[in-house]
A and B are shown apart, each in its own frame.
Chain A
């Protein structure tokens, strides 16, 4: 399973990455969380057909768009898309 946080280089995106890492740790999933940012992140976001940032992607599909500080919501988004 591949979990990615795609961002455009803003602090909010980094924040989502950190919370996602924590969520994945707490869920005891065998997955690495990858953080893609800058131009590459933007390109990935657009390729997914999304126009907001950050994006939480599970196996290359957008699981959640936009930021939330709620770790439970992030866990739920990952679970739904496994």
Chain B
């Protein structure tokens, strides 16, 4: 039995008994869809973000920095990308993180792997994908995000671009990590709880908007709307989807429910995946902030290689799936 079936029952009761909408009618469908998805995502957000935050309290970026500073490449890239999965990413930390990593001897390419994976594979995106698409797509998303982070970071590392990092970065002397926190499990859970509530409050309005728009598309947009314009036959669909995704930063919560409805209307999975990756991994605020530590040429190379990686993944899944 589906663990979410009570939600479906509740949602059926609200839509068809309480609101007396016709079963199988367009409005009934859209309302039912909206109630089911928004409750399901709310529960998943609470549970998963709490768990991830709790685990993360044992792995602060300062500790990750220590592990990665052993100057291994490839293994370092893989570790960095994996650590990136559980790291939340706030653009305000990008610069201190970059300087701190590079300063303590983390190779440039490994630092990039982390910088790509941390925002791209984030827990909010994972929760929405799990709630709306199921475990298979989440794993696909995480696996391809990690792969892109490893490969792109490794390539950038091989290109020996250290001279394109702003000179002042190398002059800053990083201090010894002063924070050695010994928190009890109770303290960690209480912190994780506060963080979760705060994050859900911030993200949930976007989820509701996204699910609402998604429900409208689900109920009202004609079948196969996108199959013709953005279907597999259109080879430009993937790059166009990536370009549209860039300015939608920080609204992964609002975007993913809409994408789900677009897939129902004929958008291929690969195109949808690369669109979602562009939403989470490529953003203007992050680029502007990274310009503080990267010379323009390196920033351009970084964006170009990452974009190509995302587009390639989109094509790959369109061919394979």
Residues of A within 8 A of B (CB): 7-13, 39, 42-43, 45-54, 61-62, 65, 67-70, 73
Contact stretch, chosen from B98-106, B146-154, B234-242, B253-261? B98-106
CA distance A73 to B177 in the complex (A): 22
Interface size on B, residues (CB 8 A): 30
Residues on A with C-beta less than 8 A from B65 are 51
B114 to chain A, nearest CB (A): 10
Residues on A with C-beta less than 8 A from B93 are 8, 51-53
The answer to whether B173 touches A47, judged by C-beta atoms less than 8 angstroms apart, is yes
As a 0/1 sequence over residues 280 to 307 of chain B, the CB contacts with chain A under 8 angstroms (1 = contact) are 0000000001001000000000000000
The answer to whether B92 touches A7, judged by C-beta atoms less than 8 angstroms apart, is yes
Residues on B with C-beta less than 8 A from A45 are 96, 100
CA distance A47 to B96 in the complex (A): 10
Closest 8 CB pairs of A and B: A10-B92, A51-B100, A49-B177, A49-B175, A52-B93, A45-B96, A51-B97, A51-B61
Residues on A with C-beta less than 8 A from B191 are 68, 73
Residues on B with C-beta less than 8 A from A65 are 60, 62, 179
Residues on B with C-beta less than 8 A from A68 are 191, 194-195, 198
Residues on B with C-beta less than 8 A from A13 are 92
Closest B residue to A65 using CB positions: B179
A46 to chain B, nearest CB (A): 5
Closest A residue to B93 using CB positions: A52
A24 to chain B, nearest CB (A): 20
Residues on A with C-beta less than 8 A from B177 are 49-50
CA distance A22 to B84 in the complex (A): 34
B25 to chain A, nearest CB (A): 43
Count of CB-CB pairs between chains A and B under 8 Å = 87
Closest A residue to B98 using CB positions: A51
Closest B residue to A54 using CB positions: B92
B227 to chain A, nearest CB (A): 41
The answer to whether B174 touches A8, judged by C-beta atoms less than 8 angstroms apart, is no
Q: Which residues in chain B, 36-52, are within 8 Å of chain A measured between CB atoms?
A: none
The answer to whether A43 touches B174, judged by C-beta atoms less than 8 angstroms apart, is no
CA distance A47 to B100 in the complex (A): 9
Residues on A with C-beta less than 8 A from B172 are 43, 46-47
As a 0/1 sequence over residues 60 to 74 of chain B, the CB contacts with chain A under 8 angstroms (1 = contact) are 111001000000000
CA distance A67 to B93 in the complex (A): 11
Q: By CB atoms of chain B within 10 A, which of A7, A48, A61, A62 has the most?
A: A48
The answer to whether A46 touches B92, judged by C-beta atoms less than 8 angstroms apart, is no
CA distance A48 to B103 in the complex (A): 13
The answer to whether A8 touches B60, judged by C-beta atoms less than 8 angstroms apart, is no
